[in-house]
Amino acid sequence: MDPKPSYDMLLAPGGSDVRAARLPPYEPFPSLDDHLVEPETHQEIIRGRRVNTMAALPPHADRHCEIDYVLRGNVAAGYIASTELLTHTSVGSDFATDTCIRKEGKDPATGTRYLEELAFEVVNEQSTRDIQEKAEDLTTRGVRRVFAIFVKVGKVCTWENRRWRELSLAGVIQDRCFSRPVLVRALLDAVEADNAVAQALVDKQNPIIEAVRAKGEAKGEAKGEAKGRVEGEANGEAKGTALSVLKVLAARGLDVPDDVRARILECRDAPLLYKWIVKAVLAATAEDVVEDA
pLDDT tens, residue by residue, 25-68: 666 888 887 777 777 667 788 887 888 776 778 999 999 999 99
Between 249 and 188, where is the model more confident?
188
| DSSP string computed for 257-272 | -HHHHHHHHH---HHH
Phi, psi of 99 (to 5 degrees): -145, 145
Q: Provide the pLDDT for residue 286.
A: 86
101 beta partners: 81, 118
Band the pLDDT of 125: cuts 50, 70, 90. confident
- One-letter amino acid of 220: G
3-class DSSP assignment, residue 171: coil
Phi, psi of 261 (to 5 degrees): -60, -45
Band the pLDDT of 222: cuts 50, 70, 90. low
Distance CA 264, CA 46 (A): 90
Asked whether the predicted pLDDT for residue 224 surpasses 80, the reply is no
Distance CA 161, CA 286 (A): 90
Mean pLDDT on 93-121: 95
Distance CA 280, CA 286 (A): 7
| Cβ contacts of 213 within 8 Å, gap of 6 or more | none
85 beta partners: 97
Dmax (CA) for the chain in angstroms is: 117
pTM tops 0.75, yes or no: no
| DSSP string computed for 96-143 | EEEEEEEESSB-TTTSSBPPPSEEEEEESSS-HHHHHHHHHHHHHHT-
Closest CA to 83 of 37, 31, 121: 121
* Ordered domains of the chain (ranges, CATH): 7-204 (3.90.1570.10), 224-290 (no CATH)
Distance CA 223, CA 283 (A): 43
Distance CA 140, CA 121 (A): 17
Q: Provide the pLDDT for residue 244.
A: 82
Asked whether the predicted pLDDT for residue 129 surpasses 80, the reply is yes
User: How far is the CA of 243 from the CAs of 42, 266, 289, in angstroms?
Assistant: 88, 11, 14
Distance CA 258, CA 241 (A): 18
Is residue 255 left, alpha or beta, with left meaning phi > 0 and alpha meaning psi from -120 to 50?
beta
